[in-house]
Amino acid sequence: MRVTLEKVAKFPGGRVLAHVRTPFGHTAVRWCGDPAAEPGEYHVEWAVDEALTWGHNAKPASCSGPGVRPGGHGVVLCGHMYVFEDGAAALDLGGTPILLDLAAPLPEGVAGSWVEICVERENVALWPYGL
């Protein structure tokens, strides 16, 4: 996905958060690229490093399309949920798949529906790459 990096903020302990704008909203998440990255356009891969538990950090969506927004100390991602035969899952964020770990199988009927996940912003990472 192409995002606009607005700024990179460095915190004690080596944490680096990026304030980014996407076609579907904006948020601040962990930046896994150059901590000295300049503002501008970047192609990124999203990673969620937190297992999802339905009813805890994953639920039916309150949105009707892809979305990215801050949520307390976390980030909220809204998209279509896909579950594969082997039990793996992915959130389709406007054409960008984000692979997910599930703490337990999802309830029946969730696959293919709009869902919202809310995870700590340090557990959502952006990995920039060049084309």
Domain ranges of the chain: 2-129
What residue ranges in 14-123 does DSSP mark as E strands? 16-22, 25-31, 40-48, 58-60, 67-71, 74-83, 89-93, 96-100, 114-120
pLDDT at 72: 80
pLDDT at 14: 82
Residue segments in the chain with a per-residue pLDDT below the cut of 50: none
Q: How many CA atoms lie within 13 A of 110 on its CB side?
A: 24
Whole-number Å distance between alpha carbons of 68 and 88: 22
What does the block give as tokens for 41? 């356009």
Instruction: For 20-44, write each residue's pLDDT tens digit.
Output: 999 999 999 999 999 999 999 999 9
**Is the whole-model pTM more than 0.85?**
yes
Task: Report the 10 Å Cβ neighbour count for 62.
Answer: 10
pLDDT at 87: 77
Instruction: For 74-84, write each residue's pLDDT tens digit.
Output: 999 999 999 98
